[in-house]
Amino acid sequence: MRELRLQKSWTQYDLADETKLRQAQVSEIEAGKANPTLLSLHKIASALGVQVAELVLPRGFVLAQGTKPTGRARGTAAKKRMGRPLRPLSR
């Protein structure tokens, strides 16, 4: 985060102003002393012009492009497990 901020020649105060966060909070996040919320990460990433993933993943880590999410069952067996759709209550 610090490197991205410095690439824009911004101070911590500049980043705080852009994100509406406190300068002390920006400092703590950069130093690894605070755990930012997802909203704070989104604000910081937007201000710096990057994706949130670029702030939290190790440098050099590459996300696969065009892959489908895993963990969801597909096919007939999955449909049976999911159950039937809800119907409106009859009056």
| Domains annotated on the chain, with CATH | 1-58 (1.10.260.40)
Helices 12-19, 23-31: crossing angle, 10 deg rounding: 110
Q: What is the residue-wise DSSP string for 21-72?
A: --HHHHHHHHHT-S---HHHHHHHHHHHTS-HHHHHSPTT--PPSSPPPPS-
Q: What is the pTM of this model?
A: 0.66
Supply the pLDDT for residue 29.
95
**Is the pLDDT confidence value at 85 over 90?**
no
Write down the pLDDT at residue 37. 95
| pLDDT one-digit tens code per residue, 52-84 | 999 988 877 776 666 555 555 555 554 554 555
Residue 58 confidence (pLDDT):
82
